[in-house]
Amino acid sequence: MNLKRTGAMTLVVIIGTAVFAGPACTVDGIDQYYRQDIEWTDCADPDLAAQCADVTVPLDYSKPRGRTITVAISRIKATDTEGRIGILQTNPGGPGDYGLGMPKDIRAGLAPEVASRYDVIGMDTRGLGRSTPIDCGLKFSIWMRSAGFDRASFDDTLAQSADEAARCQRKYPEVLPFITTRDIARDMDVIRGALGERKTSFFGQSYGTYLGAVYSTMFPDKVDRLVLDSASDPKRYGTEMLQDMGPANEEAVDEFAAWAAVQHSRLGLGQTAAEVREGMQQVIRDAATKPLQVGDETLDEHTVPFVYNAVSSDDRQREQLASTVRALKGLEPPSEWLTGVATYLAHPGLGDITTRSSAQNSLMLAIICGDKVAPRDPEYYWRAVQRARATQPIFGAMHSMASPCAFWAPPRERPLAVGNSLPALILHATRDTRTTYANGLGMYRAMRGSKLVTVPVRTHGIFPYYPNECVAAAVNRYLLDGTLPARDMTCDP
């Protein structure tokens, strides 16, 4: 999951994946989607520096003559028409990050001779942004809310998760079963076919790596080159992956606390790492007694851990985290960023359908909960939270808490066994707090033809956001001529 940008942040008959392998498939009427004409126009947002179009896809791929929806895509065309390689589809993660702007970011990181040879394609996935969006009218901007300190607080948070799930189920009972990673992968293949391409290359980050792995498992003969940046473990995708974040985030706090202690004369957060950490934990305890005022809004024990989480995923965020802790302790005024996060958390319905957190959060839940069953027993989560407290005093009650998925209708399709031997380039940072390095190794094992590029830093989403010449060289060479590194490699910071 990609929280890096946060803070701006019915069981039915099982459908066989082979049925949807392309326009010659056996479901009557599916080929019409592969043959549709794509009409490109300048994107409404000039900052995208791209063309945009709508692609029509079936809501339910087993009923292609039934209800349809539209998926919005963007394109920055190849300028080297003679050397053009093909299309490079992209996904920024989330799930639920808006994807129309990703082509601009990816092209900026590619060498000119590589960028010029691809049509780089972005997409708002079904249910998001400009792609027949959903909005459940959620009461909270985030579902990763800490359970608090006692059983009463846990039970209240559990009831809130149940209510969020019920809101979505009541509003979109006919739609939610079809907002899944497998259906997004099917959309990707329709886009490939409608663009007249025999194969597609793909660049995915965070959740986008899971999407890429699912696509390559469902449509292996349609894949050219596959780059997976900050990968999730297909076997731990869902509840387990969220729980994996807890220890990684605590390690990030330890790293920050050691740094801040050295800076005590300037920051005033503690002379030792233990003092800095205790001060951060005391902020959460204080917020449980009296919510902390940040601008016109407040933060409590359920949301302060999320604020820490949002600004500790990158080793370049230390000053921002220090400013945040100081502000929460009353040592300085809150920054514009912190005030913005507090406003974001307090107003899930603020903004239009392409920006409000209720809509984005609804889509994120629909995908994660629609992909995989979460444990249903509340006592499972109570025990998980209690176990985590000893070693995860800040994040254990958040990452081990029940999400609305615990109350979601069961997925309509059985879990897909993700994995294949296709060539793939996997990029991963050793101290990633979102998709941990162990998760990246899980993807590496599942994608048996892959090569792994390791970077010993703390970040999430390496290319092109964490500049590294060694990583850039590996990505550019692979996308240019399809050559993977001869062996797994480590790129020094």
In angstroms, the Cα distances linking 234 to 177, 205, 264 are 20, 14, 42
- What pLDDT is attached to residue 398? 98
Quick check: 428 and 231 in contact, CB under 8 A?
yes
Rg over alpha carbons for the chain, rounded to the nearest Å, is 22
CA dist 168 and 183 (Å) reads: 19
Q: List beta partners, residue 70.
A: 56
Structure tokens at 232: 């999730």
Structure tokens at 234: 């297909």
Mean pLDDT computed over 295-315 = 97
- Note the Cα 473 to chain centre separation in Å: 25
pLDDT beyond 60 at 359: yes
Specify the DSSP element, H or E, that contains 75.
strand 68-76
- What pLDDT is attached to residue 27? 66
The CA angle 475-476-480, to the nearest 5 degrees, is: 120
Q: Shortest CA distance to 207 belongs to which of 175, 183, 229?
A: 229
Q: List beta partners, residue 86.
A: 118
CA dist 205 and 4 (Å) reads: 11
DSSP per-residue letters across 85-104: -EEEEEE--TTT---TTHHH
If one counts every other C-beta atom within 10 angstroms of the C-beta of residue 21, the result is: 17
Quick check: 479 and 116 in contact, CB under 8 A?
no
Active-site positions read 206, 432, 460
DSSP per-residue letters across 153-192: HHHHHHHHHHHHHHHHHHH-TTTGGG-SHHHHHHHHHHHH
pLDDT tens-digit readout, 49-84 = 999 999 999 999 999 999 999 999 999 999 999 999
Specify the DSSP element, H or E, that contains 227.
strand 223-229
- Note the Cα 429 to chain centre separation in Å: 16
- What pLDDT is attached to residue 5? 39
pLDDT beyond 70 at 233: yes
If one counts every other C-beta atom within 10 angstroms of the C-beta of residue 65, the result is: 11
According to the 3-state scheme, what is the secondary structure of 449-486?
A: EEEEEEECCCCCCCCCCCCCHHHHHHHHHHHHHCCCCC
Quick check: 286 and 280 in contact, CB under 8 A?
no
Confidence of residue 354 (pLDDT cuts 50, 70, 90): confident
Higher-pLDDT residue of 415 and 255 is 255
- What pLDDT is attached to residue 79? 98
Sign of the C-alpha dihedral computed for residues 266, 267, 271 and 273 taken in this order: negative
Q: Where are the domains of the chain?
A: 17-135+175-237+417-490
pLDDT beyond 70 at 456: yes
Lowest mean pLDDT among 6-15, 19-28, 235-244, 262-271: 6-15
- What pLDDT is attached to residue 355? 81
- What pLDDT is attached to residue 351? 85
pLDDT tens-digit readout, 422-441 = 999 999 999 999 999 999 99
Q: What is the mean pLDDT of the chain?
A: 94
Quick check: 230 and 434 in contact, CB under 8 A?
yes
Quick check: 74 and 123 in contact, CB under 8 A?
yes
CA dist 174 and 169 (Å) reads: 9
- What pLDDT is attached to residue 12? 27
pLDDT tens-digit readout, 478-493 = 999 999 999 999 999 8
Higher-pLDDT residue of 470 and 23 is 470
Burial class of residue 238 in the structure, from the number of CB atoms within 10 Å of its CB (0-12 exposed, 13-18 middle, 19+ buried): buried
Structure tokens at 212: 């890429």
Mean pLDDT computed over 154-168 = 98
Mean pLDDT computed over 369-386 = 98
Mean pLDDT computed over 217-228 = 98
pLDDT tens-digit readout, 197-214 = 999 999 999 999 999 999
pLDDT beyond 60 at 410: yes
pLDDT beyond 50 at 305: yes
- Note the Cα 106 to chain centre separation in Å: 16
- What pLDDT is attached to residue 323? 98
Percent of the chain clearing pLDDT 90 (strictly above) = 92
pLDDT beyond 50 at 22: no
| pTM across the whole model | 0.94
Sign of the C-alpha dihedral computed for residues 340, 311, 214 and 240 taken in this order: negative
Q: Does the structural domain 17-135+175-237+417-490 have CATH classification 3.40.50.1820?
A: yes
Quick check: 166 and 407 in contact, CB under 8 A?
yes
CA dist 277 and 270 (Å) reads: 8
Quick check: 146 and 104 in contact, CB under 8 A?
no
pLDDT beyond 70 at 311: yes
pLDDT beyond 50 at 20: no
